[in-house]
Amino acid sequence: MRLSDLRGRVVVLNIWASWCPPCRAEMPALQVLHEQRAGQGVVVLGINSTVQDSEQAARDFAAEYGLTFPIALDRDGEATRLYQVRALPSTFFIDRQGIIRRVVVGGPLNPSVLETTVLDLLGEGG
Amino acid sequence: MLPVLQIGPAAIQLPGLLLIAGVWLGSVLAERQARRLGLSGDGVERLILVGLVAGILGARMGYAARYLEVYARDPLALLALTPVTLAPEVGAAIGLIAALVYGQRRRLPLEPTLDALSPGMAAFAVCLALAHVASGDAFGAPTDVPWAIVLWGMPRHPSQVYELLAALAILAFVLRLRPGTPFPGYAFGVFVALSAAARLVLEAFRGDSVMWFGTLRAAQIVSLVILLAALAVLRRLVQPMADAGR
């Protein structure tokens, strides 16, 4: 999946690892966001930092939390490097034009941050 | 960029730490300047505390008012320890009103008190810029200038560094002003005008601007209004001196 394919939609990109407690704490809110807003042009996209995790642990994690949004595996650390991830989790809010508008480094994300930021970006239209 | 400082098992959020340092440094400088101006240092320190607390509460309430539905569902989110869900402009207005009311009740003279606060606010602005350097917030627009930094996947203007340099220059300028001269209120007026002018220019290099009507950067419009207001007030204050000199 390419981010450019998601132009016209609001993207919440969350980079996480299964061993990271704040990642675990915020994951249910991301799943709720996906369930409530997917039909309104919001895409929740997870990237497991597999370079510092394991595929099996990532799969177990996704199953444990019942995650149904797409999750990419960053096996060689390319996404982690590209997005200069210095702390897990890191969450990027990307507007409909594909521009990163807000970055939250660390967590757990308060659900109010998720929801209000997405509402702002949805409200901008485009 | 260093959002998290790892010291042994402790992960310290460096931007938050820098903001706290900014409040402390700002209070110390304001109190020192207050004493130089013959004001009550304790009074000014309490005024800062009142303004700060009211400002933070106001900023959260202002933000929640924009998203009543979200906060009605989850009222505990009002207590969330995150600076993201604050409305800074509402907080600044409410903090200022609370500080003004407190200052009046304590009979602190307005212009000298504002002058006393100026170095502290300038120092806080430096710490805020440092917090942005650490967190990567307030990031720049994509560019191909030779001094671009790679951030969030693409070369960008180092807007946080621009902000830091501007804040340092304003702090240096404000610290060089002699307290109370040429007239009370001058230092504050100059600080506000310089800060607004800096924001007006630097916002053009930001990559996270809130846009109004699709093309106008909200922060630039607000900065322009504040700059014009500050210049108008300064002109009004300087007029009696000019008249007296004639």
Residue B217 belongs to a domain: yes
Looking at the predicted structure, is the pLDDT value of residue B107 above 70?
yes
Mean pLDDT of the B103-126 span? 94
Could you tell me if B241 and B181 are in contact, meaning their C-beta atoms sit under 8 angstroms apart? no
> Is A111 within 8 Å of B77 when comparing Cβ atoms?
yes
Confidence tier at B246 by pLDDT (50, 70, 90): low
> Hey, is B156 helix, strand or coil?
strand
Question: Which domains does chain A carry?
Answer: 9-108 (3.40.30.10)
* ipTM for the assembly: 0.76
Percent of chain B with pLDDT over 90: 67
Domain for residue B182, yes or no?
yes
Average pLDDT over residues B98-115: 94
- Asked if B66 lies within 8 A of A116 by C-beta distance, the reply is yes
Question: Above 90 in pLDDT, residue B105?
Answer: yes
Q: What is residue B135's predicted lDDT score, i.e. its pLDDT?
A: 85
Q: Does A82 touch chain B (CB under 8 A)?
A: yes
Query: Looking at the domain assignment, is residue B196 inside a domain?
Result: yes
Contact: A110, B13; criterion CB under 8 Å: no
Residue B79 near chain A (CB below 8 Å): no
Task: Kindly give the confidence (pLDDT) of every residue in chain A, 126 residues in length, as a single tens digit, with 9 standing for 90 and above.
Answer: 777 888 899 999 999 999 999 999 999 999 999 999 999 999 999 999 999 999 999 999 999 999 999 999 999 999 888 888 878 899 999 999 888 888 888 878 888 899 999 998 998 765
Cβ–Cβ contact A105 with B under 8 A: yes
Choose the closest CB to B152 out of A103, A104, A119: A103
Residue B165 covered by a domain: yes
B84–A113: do the CB atoms touch at under 8 Å?
A: yes
Region B70-81: mean pLDDT is: 89
Task: Confirm or reject contact between A110 and chain B (CB < 8 A).
Answer: yes
pLDDT given for residue B102 in this prediction: 95
Q: Whole-angstrom Cα distance, residue A126 to residue A7?
A: 10
What pLDDT, on a 0 to 100 scale, did the predictor assign at position A117?
93
**A18 CA to chain B: closest CA distance, Å?**
18
What pLDDT digit, counting tens, does each position of B163-202 carry?
999 999 999 999 999 888 888 999 999 999 999 999 999 9
B59 versus B246: the higher-pLDDT residue is B59
The answer to whether B3 and A86 are in contact (CB under 8 A) is yes
Please report the residues numbered 186 through 225 in chain B whose beta carbons come closer than 8 angstroms to any beta carbon of chain A: 207-208, 211
Which of A112, A113, A120 is most worth mutating to test chain B (most B CB atoms within 10 A of its CB)?
Answer: A112
Q: What is the band of B53 on the pLDDT scale with cuts at 50, 70, 90?
A: very high
pTM for this entry: 0.81
Label residue B218 left, alpha or beta by phi (over 0 means left) and psi (-120 to 50 means alpha): alpha
**Least reliable range by pLDDT among B10-14, B72-76, B200-204:** B10-14
Confidence class for position B118, pLDDT limits 50, 70, 90:
very high
Q: Quote the CA–CA distance of B222 and B148 in Å, as a whole number.
A: 27
Interface of B with A in 137-176 (CB under 8 A): 137, 139, 150-153
B43 belongs to a structural domain: no
Tell me whether B88 touches chain A (CB under 8 Å): no
C-beta atoms of A105 and B151 within 8 A: no
Whether residue A117 lies within 8 A of chain B, CB to CB, comes out as: yes
Number of domains into which chain B is organized: 1
In a domain, B180, yes or no: yes
Residue pair A89/A57 in contact (Cβ under 8 Å)? The answer is: no
For residue B206, is it within any domain? Answer: yes
Of the candidates B102, B125, B109, B241, which has an alpha carbon nearest to the alpha carbon of residue B192?
B125
Instruction: Give the per-residue pLDDT at B9.
Output: 67
Domain carrying residue B236: 110-241
Whether residue A113 lies within 8 A of chain B, CB to CB, comes out as yes
Closest B-chain CA to A115:
B70
Mutate to test the interface with A, among B17, B60, B61, B67 (most CBs of A within 10 A): B67
Q: Is residue B21 a part of any domain in this protein?
A: no
Q: Catalogue the E-assigned strands of chain A.
A: 10-16, 42-48, 71-73, 90-94, 100-105
The answer to whether the CB atoms of A116 and B1 lie below 8 A apart is no
Using alpha carbons only, give the angle A40, A41, A47 rounded to the nearest 5 degrees: 125
